Structure 1
Amino acid sequence: MTLRLILVRHAKSSWNDPGQDDHDRPLNARGRDAAPRIAEWLAERGHVPAEVVASTARRTVETWELMAPALGECTVMRRDPALYHAPAQRMLEILKHCAASPVLMLGHNPGIGEFAARLLQQLPNSQRFVTYPTGATLVVEFDAGDWSEVAFGTGRVVEFITPRDITA
């Protein structure tokens, strides 16, 4: 059996209020534009999640809210506080408790970029993958019957995209 993961870094967030708690930072205009474009790109390619797990940070929740209309109403969405600035190992632990496929996981750097790189057998040929910028989206497949079987170094890249790669 093949399992599919869609790994998305939240869209671009605002730094307008330097005193604002990091967890509460909203998306900026660029982020509000990019999130639905990423979702449309995913939908056009048939990468529609059955389950979404996202950090509880405002910017990840807003990213999903802007993505959801293009990806369907029937998706189960779970907010997990452990994903907020989670390291790669913690992200893998969270993934192992998912039930459906495809899973869309929404998180933060540096953890999500490291998680993406550690999951793969071979990295995509993209300079942007190294920095995993806001909105970066990796679609990866695993030969596994259950998420509990997934390990680092076992995933195959299906596609990788950033908002800059999508023409408006």
Structure 2
Amino acid sequence: MKRLTLLRHAKSGWDDPVKRDFDRPLNERGERAATLMGRFAKKEGMAFDVLVASPAVRVVETLDHFLDSYGQAIETLWDRRIYLASSAALIDVLHAMPDTADSVLMAGHNPGLEDLILDMVPDDGSNPLRDEVEEKFPTASLATLEFAVDHWKDADAKNATLVAFVRPRDLDAALGPEVH
């Protein structure tokens, strides 16, 4: 059994005048959400053998806050292929994970992460969590997929079960959608 947990970067600051999208930092709300999700992962006893992540600034900052509140170091692999990656590119990254790692945390961006879930989990009406992800995979959300395989290279489309999906707003309503 292999377990993949996906963490979308927290809300970033569009007001910051950076030249490149890659360099966009988190905003204050994003920092709060990332910290909250790290606390949640710790409380739930989530464990990860390896972390593979986009090196974009907003992902790095998300992980700084997440890991500080999670309270445990995780072996981290920075992989530029994750930056704004398609589902297919993310599957390639997943297939390259060491089989010694039974539980992988992948941190990155949408639409790739959401598409990965929708590509990996069958759309047969049996999983209401999939329907929620299809509606929206918000910033700083965590989704956990399980694969009944022994090797990451065997984790393919439509053979995953989505076992958990948690959004920051599920833990703190103040981190829900902004109402104008």
Mark yes or no: TM-score above 0.5: yes
Answer yes or no: is the 8 Å Cα contact 2:6–2:143 preserved in 1: yes
State the Cα distance separating 1:128 from its structure 2 match.
5.3
Distance in 2 between the 1:71 and 1:49 partners? 11
**What is the rounded CA distance, in whole Å, between the counterparts of 1:152 and 1:63 in structure 2?**
28
1:38 and 2:43 matched: no
Greater shift, 12-21 or 34-43, is seen at 12-21
Q: Give the corresponding residue for 2:177.
A: none
Partner of 2:170: 165
Distance 1:50 1:63 in 2: 19
Out of 143, 163, 172, which is 1:138 matched to? 143
2-structure distance, mates of 1:77, 1:142: 22
Q: CA deviation at 1:55?
A: 0.5
- The percent identity for this pair of structures is 33
Aligned to 2:103: 102
Range moving further from structure 2, 11-20 or 112-121 = 11-20
Larger Rg: 2
The total of aligned residue pairs comes to 167
Rounded to whole Å, the distance in 2 between the matches of 1:125 and 1:111 is 15
Gaps of 5+ in 1: none
Q: Confirm or deny: 8 A CA contact 1:36 1:67 kept in the other structure.
A: yes
CA RMSD for the aligned pairs? 1.7
Residue 117 of structure 2 is matched in structure 1 by: 116
Report the secondary structure of 1:148's partner residue.
helix
What amino acid is aligned across from residue 20 of structure 2 in structure 1?
A: D
Indicate conservation of the 8 Å contact 2:118/2:130, yes or no: no
Q: Distance in 2 between matches of 1:29 and 1:3?
A: 34
Aligned 8 A contact 1:56 1:79 in 2: yes
Distance across 2 between alignment mates of 1:73 and 1:137? 17
Give the CA deviation at 1:164: 0.7
Task: Encode CA deviations 1:90-121: one digit per residue, 9 max, x unaligned.
Answer: 00010111121210101111111101111113
Given that 1:141 and 1:155 are in contact with CA atoms closer than 8 Å, whether structure 2 keeps it comes out as yes
Change (3 A) 1:5 1:125: closer
Partner residue of 1:150?
155
Tell me the distance in 2 between the aligned counterparts of 1:80 and 1:53: 7
Q: 4+ residue stretches of structure 1 with deviation over 4 A?
A: none
Query: What's the TM-score, normalizing by structure 1?
Result: 0.91
Cα distance in 1, alignment partners of residues 108 and 139 from structure 2: 10
